[in-house]
Every structure is written in structure tokens, then in C-alpha cells.
Structure 1
Amino acid sequence: MKKIICISSLILASACAKQSPTHQDTAEQFMSDSEMEVSKNRTKELNTLERTQIQDWIKSQDVKYYPMGMNYWVNIEGLESLPRKNNGDKVSYQYDIYDFNRTKLYQNPLGNTDVEFGHFVEMDAVEDVIRYLKKGEEAEILVPSVLAYGTYGDNKKISNDMPLIIKVKVL
């Protein structure tokens, strides 16, 4: 009987013992207020610089580009005045990604089939422009890095802080 009580006590004690966390302490996962402020200022300055560079680039092009409310440009005038698809509507699309030298970054187009708006895994600017396009329509968008792959790039062909040209087609 003593053996059973002793074994039960050991099992109970081990079950109650504090387990080591398998992840970092939550305090270590967040930036301090000063680090957050530095990050916000860096993003704001980078966005301002990229907007200026993109606007200068636009001036040298034969194609006209028009600013969209989300902070990207599109080659279709008045796109935001067209009917917009709602969350839950389905769409199929593909797109190609270029740098501002018009070098295609991936040989094959990226895309998706029968994706519901509101559940995209693509960049917000890609989802936004597709909401206005009809089946078979195409658009070219100029996307600042903050709306593209941001500070980290895609760890493949898109480097950090890289603005992109994206050619989108609704299938």
C-alpha cells in the first residue's frame, strides 16, 4: 500500500510540476515602444521615398498609371469607380511579377483558382485590383514594397524593400 501511495504521489507531483515553455516568453516577442517608433518612422520614410521614385518612373513611361486609394498605381483610368466584387465572391486569376527594370522575376505566372475574396493569401494590392476586373481583363499595377513583400522579401527572388510591377489577369 505504501508503494502505491508513493508512486501515486510521484505521478501527482510530476503532473503538477511546472513545464518548461516550448516558445519564447511573450515579453520577448514584442518590440519596445522606442523600437516600434523607429520601425514606424523607417517604414514611413521608405514609403515616401518609394512613392517619389515610382512617380518619377511613371513620368518616363508611355503608359499612364493612376493612383488607387490603397497606395498603389494601376494602368486603368477610373478603376475604383467600377463595380467591386464582395467578400465571398469567387475568382480565378494569375499574375506575373517584374522589377522596375521590367525583368520578369518568376518564369511561370503565380495565381489561384476559385478563391473567395476575403480569403486571399496574395498581396492586398493584387486582391484589391482583382475586385474591379471582369473575367478576361488584365491590369498592370505598381506596388510599393510595403504592400508587396516588405522588409523580408520572399526569400527567393524578391529582395527586401523591393517595389514591384505586377501584371494581373482574371481567368
Structure 2
Amino acid sequence: MRKLLFLSAISLLSCNRNAQTAHPPVGGVLSQKDLEISKNRMKNLNMIERNQIQEWISSQNVRYYPTQLNYWVSVEGYDQRERRADNTSISYSYDLYDFDQTKIYDQPVERREARFGHFDELKAVENALRFIHDGEEVTLLVPSALAYGTFGDEKKIDNDIPLIIKLKAL
């Protein structure tokens, strides 16, 4: 019995020695300096985009109101409304535009019976849907960090592009 235990322990140790070492994912691990550079880049980009969006707002006939999540909405006081709870469902659609007001996709993005807390959606869209009423349509002005960020959507939306989102709760 002791020999069996001894052989088992030896084989476990030898398996451990032969195990391959873990390698970082493709692209490697960012150093603290790289993380700081990235953080500062995003902070500066966000500040530039916020100023550009503010300038765009000032040239519009419609009023837009800032939200706590760092985007603007075309409804006053909407984020002070009652918030929809997690696991409630909602159907909605939205169209995406750039700030030249060019529609990006011909067909709207549409979801039926999506459940809050289980969204696979832009954070600004999910957050806005929690506060709008059924049948209501709002316009969101979204900085790139809350849209498709530094990667874009790998289709028509390039990286670092702020968006206008026309959102409707169905």
C-alpha cells in the first residue's frame, strides 16, 4: 500500500513538472505604464468627444440633457423616472447615425423580449431603456467609449466613433 501511495505521489509530481507553462494571450499583458497611457488616452478622447457633442447640441433645435452615465438624451428628467427592474422584458429597436446625421445601417437593430440584466447591448441603450416608457422614442448622443469604443463593430462602425442613437421602446 505504501508503494502504491509513493508511486502515485511521484507520478503526480512528474506530471506537474511536465506541464506546459502558461503564456499570456495574443498581444501579451499590458504593463502598468501601458495601462496608464491607455487610461489617459481614453480620458482625453472622452473630453474631446464631450466638447464636440456639446458644440453639436448648441447648433440643434432640440434640447438634450446629460445623464449620469455620460451620454445625452432628448427627454428632460428621464433618468429621474422609475427604473425598470432586472429580469423584466422589453422589446425595442434603434437606428445608428454618425454626427453628420448619416444613417449607418439601412435596417434598425431590433430585439424582442430582451431581459434586463441579460442584455448583449450597448450600455447606453440598456440604461436608456430602463427609463423610457413603452412606445416612447428618444434620441441618445453617445461618446465612443459607451458605443463601440476602440474596436468599432468590425463592420461599418470604425473605432472611436461617437454615435447618435434613435431608440424606441416597442
Question: Are 2:138 and 1:139 aligned?
Answer: yes
Q: Report the CA distance between 1:18 and its aligned residue.
A: 3.0
Q: Which runs of 5+ in 1 are unaligned?
A: 1-11
How far did residue 135 of structure 1 move? Answer: 1.3
In structure 2, what is the equivalent of residue 162 of structure 1? 161
State the shift of 1:85 in Å: 0.1
Count of aligned positions: 158
Quote the residue 1:25 is aligned against: 24
TM-score (norm. length: structure 2): 0.86
Runs of 4+ in structure 1 deviating by more than 6 angstroms, as ranges, are none
Once residues 164 and 67 of structure 2 are traced to their aligned partners in structure 1, the CA distance between those partners, rounded to angstroms, is 14
Q: Structure 1's 32 and 154: CA in aligned 2 closer, same or farther, altered over 3 A?
A: same
Distance 1:164 1:26, change over 3 A: closer
Structure 2 residue 123 is matched with structure 1 residue 112: no
Calculate the aligned-residue CA RMSD, in Å.
Answer: 2.1
Gaps of 5+ in 2: 1-10
Task: Give the distance between the partners of 1:107 and 1:27, measured in 2 at CA.
Answer: 35
Match of 1:60 in 2: 59
Percent identity among equivalent residues?
A: 48
Residues in 2 aligned to 1:67 and 1:113: alpha-carbon distance in whole angstroms: 28
TM-score by length of 1: 0.86
Structure 1 residues 140-149 or 108-117, which shifts more? Answer: 108-117
Q: Does 1:103 align with 2:102?
A: yes
